[in-house]
Structure 1
Amino acid sequence: MASNSSINDFCRFCLKNMKVSGVLGHCTTLFDKNKKPLSISDRLKHLGLVITKRPGRSKRVCRGCVAILSKLEKSLPVFWSWMENEKDEESSAAGSAINSDKRNGERTPLKTPNALKSPGLLSVKRSFTVSTSDTLMTSRLHISTQTDSPGCSTRATQVSLGILGHCVGSKGIQTESSMMRKSVATSTADAPWGPGTSVPIGSVHLRPSKRPRLDEEDEGEVSILRPEPHDSTYDPAQLVSAVAESSQLIDMSSTGYKDSKYIVFEKNLMELFETCPVCSRMSEVKTYRRGTFLSVHQKCHHCSYSKQWKSQPVVGSTPVGNIQLSAAIYFTGSSYFKVQKVFEAMHLQNISYTTFRNHANSYLQPAVIHTWQQYQEEELRILSQKRAKVGGDMRADSPGHSAKFGRYSLMNLENNSVIDIQLVQSSEVGGSPKMEIEGLRRSLRLLWSKGVTVDLIITDRHPQIQKFLQKKKITRYCDVWRLQNSISKRLAKVAKDKDCEVVKKWQRGISNHAYWCATSSSSGPERVAKWTSVVNHMQDIHVHDNPLFPQCQHPVRLSSDRNKWFQPGSKALFKVEKILTNKKVLTDVARLSSQYQTSFLDAFHSVALRFTPRNVVFPPGERLCRLYLAAMHFNENSSRIQVGTTAGNWRNATHFPKKGGHTLEPVKTPPTQRYVHNLISDVFEEIVPHPQPYLKRIQEIQLSCHRPSTVLH
């Protein structure tokens, strides 16, 4: 795992992690000159932003933020000249209007559309700045009315910084949008477009602090106006009280990750931007794409109308849709490359595999670890208040003795929920046969550390586990299905021998007899007595020598098929009796569980295979996170109810096994994925705004193998 990160490894403004593969690069310090006349802090000070050295704040800034600073410095002189020209035109227009009023003795209305298009007659001034992570000022609005004209004014709310000269404040609110449009409402009757129409006169793009990887090619201009300290709405006290310090300003309520999404064709989308909404002439349209994100820039060269449209919100410097697509693929246990094939077939724009991996490492895996640890803590807290009844089993990533990783799963048998998963590597325990006992040790050690007392545990027939639990004085029971499955396989092999065809008729009966022995007995010797009675029963003998079970409990009835009984001294009876009365089999029969079984553990293993296929090699950290996701999915859907019909009956489905015959299984309600929505909410509301505490939790997970796999999945 990566070493612990320092606060100086992150950009002070956009919080980008600048350490790649343990090497810090693509950054500069705020307070060093770096072979230039002025340091970054001095350049920011010239713009009105004072940066000081404070504990807990980074002293470095990434190259992307430095590029934004350079764009600001280049744009300010040009913008000031524009503003001075506008002031001159406003003064001349106001003077001519006053003289005209004096001559005619009446107000001067706006008679032609050109009057409205003149920038000098609409003296609505706004101040915009780029929001930074160190200072946030209240929005301000300078309002002045047209000379003796009808009420042609507009109000707007913006996030503003006083970076030039003396700061000027006015009443307003902070905005939540990173892109705004300006419009002036007019009610002039002479206007050709009718009264009450909103005439756009421009657009201002207020961008949050961004990382360089989202900087668009044509998005370098930032609109900034000099504040006027002589404005009538200026209130210095209000401006001072509005200063707020924050590490990064991200309004998660505007991410829109819960909104509905649609598939939009590019041709239909571009039709919305081809013509100018003001003069109805053709506009210049430029597009910028990053994964599923699309930004459209529309500009009319005739009336100078411009507009920027974004297909989705942006958090920090990452489009929300890109993160949500990665989260949907990862949290549902899907494969990026299978989704990519679907996207390519439909010509849908998709994120790159590198972006998907970056999202998984930065946001998705921390969310999985955090959610699982919270769930596990709550489950173990409840179990610590009573004696726990658990079941455990190991499954390897590949069959046989060549497995590299094994997962040991521990389940609470009272509610059939997975409470712990241990990932064990064969190289750290001396071989794959020893992985199961090591996984059990780790799980029990976790339970004991949380104050959980184990009442009983149901496992498979592993001899090492039996010896370990006997030493720890923990009551152990065997799962009935595992015992009868092992015996059925051996009986099926015997049934293929010559003169042993009768064995096949008794395979299902012997399997059912194992379940009956487990559920109808109150002690181990009684289970053994009932189990050995089947040898006499197969010979049509129903009275036995064992006093614990002297005779069969079924009613005596004559059989029409005399060929189904075993003949005394036959080859078939000898082989079957040797299997059923084996010493190890009798020991396990005495330990059969009468109430709890591990069938739900086998069901969980099937779910885990969907999240971690055996033919795909995962890095240890990702394998563990995917197993946690499998556990969340299983725990949420383990208690589904059976579906009923309109007539009030329960629905069942007929299944035909490979070995023949048929079985009826209940039809359950469809599975749900509420855990996926909860994880996505955690990503956008907790992980993305403050990733540091969650990244540290991943570093605390001790894994035996730290070398990531190069196999794609």
Structure 2
Amino acid sequence: MSTSFGEWQLDDPTDDPQDDSFKLPSDHNPSSPSDSDSASTSSYGYRSPSIRKTMRETYCDIRHEFDVWHVNKSVKKKLVNAANKKENQDLQTWLKSISNHLYWSCSSSHGDGEECVRRWKSLLHHIVGIHRWEEDGEQHTCHHAPLTDDEQRRKRWMKVDSPAYKSLKSIVLDKNLLRDLKQMALFKHTGPLEVFHSSMLKYTQKRLHFSYDAMLARTQLAVMDHNANIGKEQAKTKEGQPRFACAYSKASRQWTARPVYERGEQPFRKNMMEDTLRMRDESSIEDWPPSSPSQEETSEEHCSCPPA
């Protein structure tokens, strides 16, 4: 088994959206994924022309969506590079807000690609302190609550003619990004799949080689471990307050508070040991691996000649 550069996640509309457990039906046929409504692609090849063409021609009944996290990562990288320039220092304070705005644009457009693009482009108005504007003969407003005079005065709004705003505008209106946003309106992401891949590394390290039986057993262990730790609650302090850990990003030069969850458990281990000991005491258990038949038995089994 090897890792691939592209990841696929098929989203079944009948599944519980809160259930991230790993499931694979016994009759699953990769060549016939027509039972799913959408497919999200991620990793390095999310803009791959070959994947686009395959989804458009071979799987035309499936709506092809892009992973929001990977697109946001690409946009954030461009923003950080632009903000690191001396003339674009005003962009530094807006990096986190711009990233959040991209997530909001995708999550609130309810599958409408054009609306997703329009909400993303509204950033260019809000960031200069304009919260009501006209576009294509229609009036539009920001979706946030009205700002007080004090809030409007304290905000570090950009200037339309500043180098920082011009750099931001070139990133926001990038034609490839606007095209991709139309395939992000369902707010799909492969986060749960990547969490499972991360848990697999504990059992199937990439630097080690495993036989087929070992790889199969270790993958099954990873699946049980992953499913046993779905939906963990956020850890709490002695006072009963939710726990957070502060992380500093060198790229954005900002601190972020991330929730700390309860430690994972493996209750299946005890059950496996009990079953192993019980099966060991049973005399009906066959040896593993099964012994290979002798050469004479094989010859007699395949001989078509009648006995003398």
TM-score, scaled to structure 1:
0.33
Name the counterpart of 2:97: 509
What is the aligned partner in structure 2 of residue 454 from structure 1? 36
Pair 1:599-2:159 in alignment: no
Question: How far did residue 535 of structure 1 move?
Answer: 1.4
Tell me which of 127, 136, 141 is aligned to 1:551: 141
CA deviations 1:251-284 (Å, max 9, x no partner) are: xxxxxxxxxxxxxxxxxxxxxxxxxxxxxxxxxx
1:465 matched to 2:30: no
Contact 1:526 1:549 in 2 (8 A): no
Size of the alignment, in residue pairs?
Answer: 268
Which residue number in structure 2 is paired with residue 205 of structure 1?
none
Alignment RMSD, CA only? 3.7
Gaps of 5+ in 1: 1-394, 398-404, 421-442, 697-713
Percent identity over paired residues: 23
Q: Could you say if the C-alpha distance between residues 515 and 549 of structure 1 is closer, same or farther in structure 2, counting changes exceeding 3 Å?
A: farther
**What are the Cα deviations for residues 661-685 of structure 1, in whole angstroms up to 9, with x where unaligned?**
13141433x3221333344455555
Q: Check if 1:617 corresponds to 2:211.
A: no
Distance 1:553 1:653, change over 3 A: closer
Match for 2:20: what amino acid? N
Cα distance, 1:488 vs structure 2: 0.7
Q: Is the 8 A contact 2:37 2:62 kept in 1?
A: yes
- C-alpha distance in structure 2 between counterparts of 1:513 and 1:407, whole Å: 26
2:21 aligned to which of 402, 417, 423: 417
**Partners of 2:35 and 2:222 in 1: how far apart?**
26
Letter in 2 for 1:416: D
Q: Following TM superposition, by how much is the alpha carbon of 1:596 offset from its aligned partner in structure 2, in angstroms?
A: 4.9
Q: Shift of residue 455 of structure 1?
A: 2.0
User: Is 2:257 the counterpart of 1:663?
Assistant: yes
For residues 165-180 of structure 1, the aligned pairs below 5 Å read none
Q: Distance in 1 between matches of 2:91 and 2:238?
A: 44
Structure 2 unpaired stretches of 5+: 293-308
Secondary structure, aligned partner of 1:606: helix
> Bigger radius of gyration, 1 or 2?
1
Superposed, 1:386-465 pairs within 5 Å as: 410=9, 414=17, 415-420=19-24, 445-446=29-30, 448=32, 453-460=35-42, 461-463=46-48, 464-465=50-51
TM-aligned CA distance change 1:581 to 1:408, over 3 Å? closer
Matched, 1:628 2:220: yes
Whole-Å separation in 2 of the counterparts to 1:409 and 1:676: 30
Are 1:539 and 2:128 counterparts?
yes
1:219 paired residue number: none
In the superposition, relative to structure 1, how do residues 488 and 474 fare at CA in structure 2: closer, same or farther (>3 Å)?
A: same
Corresponding residue number in structure 1 for 2:242: 651
Change (3 A) 1:512 1:410: closer
What are the Cα deviations for residues 126-160 of structure 1, in whole angstroms up to 9, with x where unaligned?
xxxxxxxxxxxxxxxxxxxxxxxxxxxxxxxxxxx
Contact between 2:9 and 2:40, CA under 8 Å: does it hold in 1? no
Report the equivalent of 1:489: 77
Alignment match, 1:173: none
Identify which of 56, 62, 65 aligns with 1:474. Answer: 62
1:675 paired with 2:268, answer yes
Deviation at 1:633, TM superposition (A): 0.9
Contact 2:232 2:261 in 1 (8 A): no
**Mean Cα deviation higher: 503-512 or 534-543:** 534-543
Quick one: structure 1 residues 658 and 553, their matched pair in 2 at CA, closer, same or farther if it must change by over 3 Å? closer
- In the TM superposition, residue 540 of structure 1 has moved relative to its aligned partner by 2.2
SS at match of 2:39: strand
Tell me if the contact between 1:642 and 1:650 (Cα under 8 Å) persists in the aligned partners.
no
